[in-house]
Amino acid sequence: MNERYSRQQLFAPIGEAGQKKIREKHVVLIGAGALGTGNAEALVRAGIGKLTIIDRDYVEWSNLQRQQLYSEADAKERLPKAIAAKRRLEQVNSDVQIEAIVGDAGPEELEALVAEQRPHLLIDATDNFDARMVINDVAYKYSIPWIYGACVGSYGLSYAFIPGRTPCLYCLLETVPQGGLTCDTAGIISPTVQMVVSYQTAEALKILVEDREALRGKLVSFDLWTNEYAAIRIDAVKRDNCPTCGHDPSYPFLSYEQQTKTAVLCGRDSVQIRPSARRQYDLNELAALFRRQGLQAEANPYLVSVSIGDKRLVVFGDGRALVHGTKDVQEAKTIYYRYLG
């Protein structure tokens, strides 16, 4: 018996057979923020075969309070989260293959990844419903379970969506929540994150060891400050005519590509811009170009950060950019096109 996993194997519902199954599994994690780092560490320690991490952001000081894989050095270097997470996870468990993707998990990217690699499980660690609707469509189209998790303040909730067995997110929501409604600016405490991570990884382990009977099957929510707890069996909300999980699915969120070209990031006073065609920048050259214009620019192997008045423009190698200091998409676009053409 491999000592590393001995305690997990002693847990009867997993055992040696379960451990072997965990080892054969590939999990795709969408988002490497608070929930993402928690899920990643738990699954990598548990000894899965492969973890793919997709994240569009880089490490900042405000992340360190709860995003457990990151260090001060990562924030100083503005390391992309996917890269910083991979580095840390490889120190934690070198048995696990870690694939880091620095980029947006848009419909095109996520569907291509899932179609090619056919992972066993998708874990949602995003911070917005546009992304979750894309995950939902991809998961049901390719019949792969996905686990929703979300939190704000001391409140959190989770649900494991199983194609062919449970309703989907579209059935539950009927509409896509608009940005303002779910864009959370209320802050967050780390135990809330850990609790959602626990709900997600517990269901993940059940799915990975193929113990479907043990799945909770309920939408669960809690508030760690007001001490409330709720759990609802939601099978009854499944709709036969659902465009994602119904009898004639159209997967509407896989064709909404144009909507994802710009996005206001939740609670961040930042706008993301994706160029209509992929670009390829030499980041050192780009930083030099900014400096020649009298701007203060810093580059690392993944991005260039440049201050422009009270705004900051962060450009990734593929041309994707974050404009910090504004929530105004037009203003962000103006800055992007002025400096990047």
Partner 1 sequence: MTLIVNGETITVPDEVKTVSDLLSHFRLDNKLAIVEVNVRIIQKHEYGITTLANGDRVEIVHFVGGG
List the end-to-end C-alpha distance of the chain, in Å, as a whole number: 59
Q: Is 254 in the site for Zn ion (CB under 5 A)?
A: no
Nearer to Zn ion, 150 or 245 (CB): 245
Q: Which stretch binds partner 1 (CB under 8 A): 84-92, 144-152, 270-278, 292-300?
A: 144-152
Hey, what are 320's tokens?
Answer: 């994707």
**Length of the chain, in residues:** 341
Nearer to Zn ion, 146 or 290 (CB): 146
Q: Is 173 in the site for partner 1 (CB under 8 A)?
A: yes
Q: Which of 151, 183, 242, 245 does the annotation list as catalytic?
A: 183
Q: How far apart are CA 229 and CA 289, in angstroms?
A: 55
Helix (H) or strand (E) holding 36: helix 34-46
Q: Is 244 in the site for partner 1 (CB under 8 A)?
A: no
Residues 129-168 that bind Zn ion (CB under 5 A): 168
Task: Give 198's contacts (C-beta < 8 A, 6+ positions apart).
Answer: none
Q: Is 57 in the site for partner 1 (CB under 8 A)?
A: no
Choose the contact partner of 242 out of Zn ion, partner 1, none; CB within 5 to 8 A by kind: Zn ion
183 annotated active-site: yes
* 8 Å CB contact between 120 and 26: yes
Long-range CB contact pairs, 329-338, < 8 A, 24+: 329/262, 329/264, 329/271, 331/271, 332/262, 332/271, 332/273, 333/262, 333/273, 335/308, 335/311, 336/273
Give least dist CB 245 to Zn ion, A.
Answer: 3
Identify the CA nearest to 86 among candidates 119, 51, 45.
Answer: 51
Choose the contact partner of 145 out of Zn ion, partner 1, none; CB within 5 to 8 A by kind: none
Residues 73-112 that bind partner 1 (CB under 8 A): none
Nearer to partner 1, 200 or 305 (CB): 200
Q: How far apart are CA 260 and CA 220, in angstroms?
A: 29
Q: Is 225 in the site for partner 1 (CB under 8 A)?
A: no
- Write out the residues near partner 1 by the rule CB under 8 A: 31, 33-36, 124-129, 149-152, 155-157, 172-174, 177, 181-184, 188, 196, 219-221, 228-234, 236-237, 266-267
- Write out the residues near Zn ion by the rule CB under 5 A: 168, 170-171, 242, 244-245
Q: Which residues are catalytic?
A: 183
